[in-house]
Amino acid sequence: MSRPRGVSRRAFLAAAAGAGGLLPAGLAGAGGGEVKVPSRGVVAAVSSGNGLRATARAVELVRQGADTLDAAVAGVNIVEEDPEDASVGYGGLPNEEGVVELDACVMHGPTWSCGAVAALQKIKTPSSVARLVMTRTDHVLLVGEGALRFALAHGFEPVNLLTEKARKEWLRWKESRSPIDDWIEPREAEAKMRSRPTGTITCLVLDAKGDLSGVTSTSGLAFKLPGRVGDSPIIGAGLYVDNDAGAAGATGRGEAVITAGGSRIVVENMRRGMSAAEAVRDVLERIARQTLDPRLRDKEGRPSFDVSLYALKRNGEVASGSLWSGKRFAAHDGETNALRDCFHLFARSGKEGG
């Protein structure tokens, strides 16, 4: 396996050994990436750094006998309904026109079924709507007005998803974009926004029978073009579940994850025998190698954006890695629910390494 340009030998070897993103205890699976049915009692949940409450809830529900997808959706609903999370559901940052558009998908391992919604307005919990697309339609993906009508038909309550906090952020961005348009910042304007946030939640759940499910939900790239859809509602990009192999999810720049077929490749890597950490690292390396557009590269040729990938192998191995350092993920190993550091390819300091 080759070391990508810009990745220090130390970081590469650390990632290869699974350092950082691989849970040291409780969830450690058999070596060599062999897929095995978990020993009795293995319950696990993995999520992005904003998903600690999601993993707690999901494991609690699975222990009470809930299906893994019901548990994952219930966990993600907590964050979707939280106005303080600016990357998901209610309180998510809006598009360029100040309208919140949400994307989500779900995948249920035991039945190999999935559902998704994209550019959905006015509904706080797009993951619940995606679950209904899976169970109550003959389709996989509903978008925009059609997705909203479907949600309303199922009794979801339409609300204004734009919180005051998110509206002020949007206005700050709009007023600071260009000195030659007609939007003017207040005299005492705060520092300009230096980057546009992408935030998302993904949650992967494994029960003691070895059944897997996953959910990904987002408000997408802040201030996006209306109608822009990222990886989160795309099965195989923002989420993929293979009940025989494992589950994977993604957060970060959706365009890069779609181009790489991110979650699908992570799962396929595990199916072919890689450990969860190797599977994640391989896809991060592909993304780094395949980022050729100078707009998206820093002076040293590295991606100027971030992507994080999360993997839960059917044997209980867990891993998460990011292109850039500083990211965390939530993992519940059936005993402990905690945030842990993702491994990374590139260090934020500008120096390579990990």
Q: Specify whether 200 is catalytic.
A: yes
- Closest CB to ligand GLY among 78 and 88? 88
What the block records as the tokens of 138 is 């003959």
Q: Which of 232, 291, 320, 337 binds ligand GLY (CB under 6 A)?
A: 232
What the block records as the tokens of 242 is 């293979």
Give me the helix-helix angle, 262-271 and 276-290, nearest 10°: 140
User: At 47, which helix (H) or strand (E)?
Assistant: strand 44-48
308 binds ligand GLY (CB under 6 A): no
Minimum CB distance to ligand GLY, residue 225 (Å): 12
- Closest CB to ligand GLY among 68 and 200? 200
Query: To the nearest 5 percent, what fractions of the chain are helix, strand and coil?
Result: 30, 25, 50
- Closest CB to ligand GLY among 163 and 198? 198
Minimum CB distance to ligand GLY, residue 165 (Å): 20
DSSP string computed for 200-266: EEEEEEE-TTS-EEEEEEE--STTPPTT---STTSBTTTEEEETTTEEEEEEE-HHHHHHHTHHHHH
254 binds ligand GLY (CB under 6 A): yes
- Contact set for ligand GLY, span 212-231 (CB under 6 A): 218, 220-221, 230-231
DSSP string computed for 305-319: S-EEEEEEETTS-EE
198 binds ligand GLY (CB under 6 A): yes
- Closest CB to ligand GLY among 230 and 316? 230
262 binds ligand GLY (CB under 6 A): no
Number of residues that bind ligand GLY (CB under 6 A): 12
Interacting residues of 284 by C-beta distance below 8 A, sequence separation 6+: 307, 309, 321, 322, 323, 345
- Closest CB to ligand GLY among 43 and 221? 221
200 binds ligand GLY (CB under 6 A): yes
Residues near ligand GLY (CB under 6 A) are 198, 200, 218, 220-221, 230-232, 251-254
Residues annotated catalytic, as ranges: 200
